[in-house]
Structure 1
Amino acid sequence: MGSIPAGIWVIASGVIIYGLYVGADIFAPLALAVFLWLVIEGFARMLQERFTKLPRWLAQLGAVLVILGATTAVIVIFIDGLNEFAKNAGAYETRINEVIVGVYKTFNINTVAPPDLSSMLFNMQNTKFVQPIIDSVQGLASSFVLIMIYIAFLFLAERNWPTKLDFIFPESKAREQAREVGHQVRKSMEQYLWVQTVISVIITIITYINLLILGLDNALFWAFIVFFLNYIPTIGSIVAAFLPGLFALAQPDWPSYMPADATLNAVIVLACVSIWQFAIGNFVQPRMMGESLNLSALVVLVSLAVWGAIWGIPGMFLSAPLTVLLMILFAQIPGVHWIAILLSADGKPIKLKTQQIAETEQIAEN
């Protein structure tokens, strides 16, 4: 690649990234809608495979109703959890203030008086740090209706895609390659989302049982927090393990069979949640994931930071599948094939059948 093409590529990348950042309110909900649509379509196809006489529209309707039902159930659980926290807010605040005083005494921090929870949370510095997270969550919630509208129009536009593809690629070879790229992207995204959902459900159920046995307040709420955080690569599972443990420090009352020391209880909660995250994430998930996420660990972290900076929390959730999408697309373009190699974990990005056939014919000619 010459210096001029490289320069053009850098400029184009900067313009695209800036456009995605400026248009986050439009593109982030659209990306979420596409991935939710893929989940619905995958579930609808599964219904049709099991019930062969089921019409496609009825399978899609069933899948939509299941997704809406699950979404409603999750919203109800979160609202109930927040209400439960609000009822016991005074007791939690008192316990946290006691922990802060204990920390100051343990480390012999000389000060007039240890700060309380309110002064720590609502000072200017911490507010500036937390506010972007709160704004991102509020923005995601407010975009829910827009996401639903996008999904509806995706279903309406689906039937015309084959015809549009024929017009865009009049040559049969190019059209076949475009269809294969689309099929591979769809297959990789669906497999990633399906495996990630199954893994998150398994971890959530085990976490809920563990937290229920240990006696942590609002165990169902924390289990669902763990479920959603597991969609964020690497960092999500770490945060998911630490949050219930940190909350355990603030819990004032525990069952009689648990130790009297709240710090020891927090360590037990952290250990119980972490061991399942580690075991399933390192032994079960790689076997189920297969080649759908052929990304190096460094690329996963960098993509998490980049997409998070561009789109906030939605970007973090979508960072891995979006990077896989880019890797598949780059692998088909000779000028940027090297980027796909750098993104892949084994240096072998996915090759399409048409690409493999072309390479075989070239070798035969030589």
Structure 2
Amino acid sequence: MIHPHGAIRLRPARRRPHRPAEPVPPEPVPPEPVPPEPVPTEPVPTEPVPTGAGLPRAVVLLGAGAAATVVIAGLRSAAWLLAPVFLAMVVVIAASPLPRWLRRKGVPNWLATTALVLLVYATIAIVVLVMVVSVARLASLLPTYAGRADDLVGGLTSTLSRFHVGPDQVRQAADGLDLDRLARLLESVLGTATSLASNLVFLLSLLLFLSFEAATVDARRARIVADRPGMVEAFAGFVHNTRRYLVVSTVFGLVVAALDTVGLLVMGIPLAVLWGLLAFLTNYIPNVGFVIGLLPPAVLGLLEGGWGRLLAVVVLYGVLNFVLQSVVQPRFVGDAVGLSSTVTFLSLILWSWVLGPIGAVLAVPLSLLVKALLVDSDPRARWVDAMIGSVPRTKARRHEKPDEGT
């Protein structure tokens, strides 16, 4: 622009209003790619892995029965070894509270174990000594009753002839009652007992080693409980129930043996102390032990005083031994160890067949051992305990249902 005085005047530039910058739109996020749908293909057939749950129940039962048969047959074939082992184990379990009590009193471990060994050895020595001396006296006493036996056989022959029993049958029965043959049999048993000294040494050696091993049970249990607490609890229950069974049987055995000894002494039966000891030992045989203890004093009663003395001995054993050992004691044993009377009787038959006479004596402890291994240690098998165990009488009364008519 030209000013009138000739000077050039510049027009100031007009300011444009400030416009805020338009926000830049964010870049769009690309959508996540959708995975393509899998094309259906035919599954490749694979062989199923066989499991116990998938097997039919009949197959499982047959397999378990076959395995049990094989195990029982193996135990029976090794009875010469297993019977002393089980006997030594039960003896050590019964006597092990003594060293524990001594250790709590501050007695050294080696001295407590020595006391346990001496106690076990002394008990076995006393029992063996009494039995050997008594059986030797019996073998020398029986021949003196030969005349009395002939008179009894003659009277029995005349009595049977009234019932039209032939003389040949009577003669065969008389030959079976030959006391000389019985005396020779007892002498042969005593001779065989000396040949079994090696088995006695084996048993005493087992008792020695197990007595020393009993001192380390607590340390072994502490190492096992971390991995197998159920197994440790099951074996602890086995030891506890075995001791309770032995305590109950020992108490009843002492009562029965004392009463039998006194009764036989009053009746004048020879060797009453031996028959009392026999009654005590047979008390550990469930249900039928009194029958084994009855036969020898009954025969001597017949030879000593006739049929009346025999009847008196039978009545004595029937009242005391049958009532206490076969009626009262099984109830206490069942409540103490958790086995029903039926299972106890069946275990007596089984273990007698498997291990012989020692199996009859150890029938209940061996059944408790099997129960601890197969039932108590496995929570899935606890239902078996409800079938084979005994129900305490108070609980049984509590769960009894009244009759429909009441």
Distance in 1 between the 2:192 and 2:244 partners? 27
> In 2 relative to 1, CA 292–278 (structure 1 residues): closer, same or farther, beyond 3 Å?
same
Greater helix content: 1
**Matching of residue 145 in structure 1 with residue 198 in structure 2:** no
* SS of the residue 1:143 aligns to: helix
1:23 counterpart residue number: 78
Distance in 1 between the 2:151 and 2:174 partners? 13
Contact 1:37 1:151 in 2 (8 A): yes
Q: What pairs with 1:241-256 in structure 2 (closer than 5 Å)?
A: 241-251=294-304
> In 2 relative to 1, CA 112–322 (structure 1 residues): closer, same or farther, beyond 3 Å?
closer
Distance in 1 between the 2:319 and 2:216 partners? 48
Q: Which moved more, 1:110-119 or 1:316-325?
A: 110-119
2:159 counterpart residue number: 106
Equivalent residue letter for 2:312: I
User: Following TM superposition, by how much is the alpha carbon of 1:263 offset from its aligned partner in structure 2, in angstroms?
Assistant: 0.7
Contact 2:286 2:330 in 1 (8 A): no
User: Following TM superposition, by how much is the alpha carbon of 1:238 offset from its aligned partner in structure 2, in angstroms?
Assistant: 2.8
1:344 counterpart residue number: 389
Distance in 1 between the 2:78 and 2:191 partners? 16
User: Following TM superposition, by how much is the alpha carbon of 1:88 offset from its aligned partner in structure 2, in angstroms?
Assistant: 2.4
Distance in 1 between the 2:62 and 2:221 partners? 31
Q: Which moved more, 1:19-28 or 1:34-43?
A: 34-43
User: Following TM superposition, by how much is the alpha carbon of 1:196 offset from its aligned partner in structure 2, in angstroms?
Assistant: 1.3
Distance in 1 between the 2:193 and 2:382 partners? 36
1:238 counterpart residue number: 291
**Matching of residue 323 in structure 1 with residue 367 in structure 2:** yes
1:333 counterpart residue number: 378
User: Following TM superposition, by how much is the alpha carbon of 1:215 offset from its aligned partner in structure 2, in angstroms?
Assistant: 0.7
User: Following TM superposition, by how much is the alpha carbon of 1:333 offset from its aligned partner in structure 2, in angstroms?
Assistant: 2.1
TM-score (norm 2): 0.70
Equivalent residue letter for 1:151: L
Equivalent residue letter for 2:126: A
Distance in 1 between the 2:193 and 2:137 partners? 20
* SS of the residue 1:62 aligns to: helix
1:178 counterpart residue number: 231
2:313 counterpart residue number: 269
Deviations 1:200-225 (A, max 9, x none): 12211221111111110111111111
Distance in 1 between the 2:334 and 2:349 partners? 24
Distance in 2 between the 1:168 and 1:269 partners? 53
Distance in 2 between the 1:44 and 1:164 partners? 17
1:306 counterpart residue number: 350
Distance in 1 between the 2:262 and 2:281 partners? 17
User: Following TM superposition, by how much is the alpha carbon of 1:159 offset from its aligned partner in structure 2, in angstroms?
Assistant: 4.8
Distance in 2 between the 1:56 and 1:86 partners? 45
Q: Which of 255, 264, 270 pairs up with 1:202?
A: 255
Distance in 1 between the 2:170 and 2:326 partners? 41
Distance in 2 between the 1:16 and 1:236 partners? 27
Equivalent residue letter for 1:150: L
Equivalent residue letter for 1:299: V
> In 2 relative to 1, CA 18–284 (structure 1 residues): closer, same or farther, beyond 3 Å?
closer
* SS of the residue 1:88 aligns to: helix
User: Following TM superposition, by how much is the alpha carbon of 1:12 offset from its aligned partner in structure 2, in angstroms?
Assistant: 1.7
> In 2 relative to 1, CA 57–164 (structure 1 residues): closer, same or farther, beyond 3 Å?
closer
**Matching of residue 155 in structure 1 with residue 211 in structure 2:** yes
Contact 2:242 2:365 in 1 (8 A): yes
Q: Which moved more, 1:278-287 or 1:183-192?
A: 278-287
Contact 1:205 1:223 in 2 (8 A): yes
* SS of the residue 1:107 aligns to: helix
> In 2 relative to 1, CA 56–196 (structure 1 residues): closer, same or farther, beyond 3 Å?
farther
User: Following TM superposition, by how much is the alpha carbon of 1:47 offset from its aligned partner in structure 2, in angstroms?
Assistant: 5.4
5+ unaligned residues in a row in structure 1: which ranges?
252-260, 349-366
Select the structure of larger CA radius of gyration: 2
> In 2 relative to 1, CA 334–14 (structure 1 residues): closer, same or farther, beyond 3 Å?
farther
2:60 counterpart residue number: 5
Which consecutive aligned stretches of 4+ in structure 1 deviate over 4 angstroms post-superposition? 46-49, 133-142, 159-169, 286-290
Distance in 2 between the 1:163 and 1:57 partners? 16
Q: Which moved more, 1:215-224 or 1:320-329?
A: 320-329
User: Following TM superposition, by how much is the alpha carbon of 1:80 offset from its aligned partner in structure 2, in angstroms?
Assistant: 2.1
2:399 counterpart residue number: none
| Aligned CA-pair RMSD | 3.4
Contact 1:81 1:221 in 2 (8 A): yes
> In 2 relative to 1, CA 156–60 (structure 1 residues): closer, same or farther, beyond 3 Å?
closer
User: Following TM superposition, by how much is the alpha carbon of 1:325 offset from its aligned partner in structure 2, in angstroms?
Assistant: 2.5
> In 2 relative to 1, CA 80–44 (structure 1 residues): closer, same or farther, beyond 3 Å?
same
* SS of the residue 2:235 aligns to: helix
Q: Which has the higher contact order (CA 8 A, sep 6+)?
A: 1
Contact 1:195 1:288 in 2 (8 A): yes
User: Following TM superposition, by how much is the alpha carbon of 1:25 offset from its aligned partner in structure 2, in angstroms?
Assistant: 1.0
User: Following TM superposition, by how much is the alpha carbon of 1:228 offset from its aligned partner in structure 2, in angstroms?
Assistant: 1.0
TM-score (norm 1): 0.77
* SS of the residue 1:115 aligns to: helix
User: Following TM superposition, by how much is the alpha carbon of 1:65 offset from its aligned partner in structure 2, in angstroms?
Assistant: 2.1
**Identical aligned pairs, as a percentage?**
23
2:69 counterpart residue number: 14
Q: Which moved more, 1:274-283 or 1:305-314?
A: 274-283
Distance in 1 between the 2:272 and 2:263 partners? 9
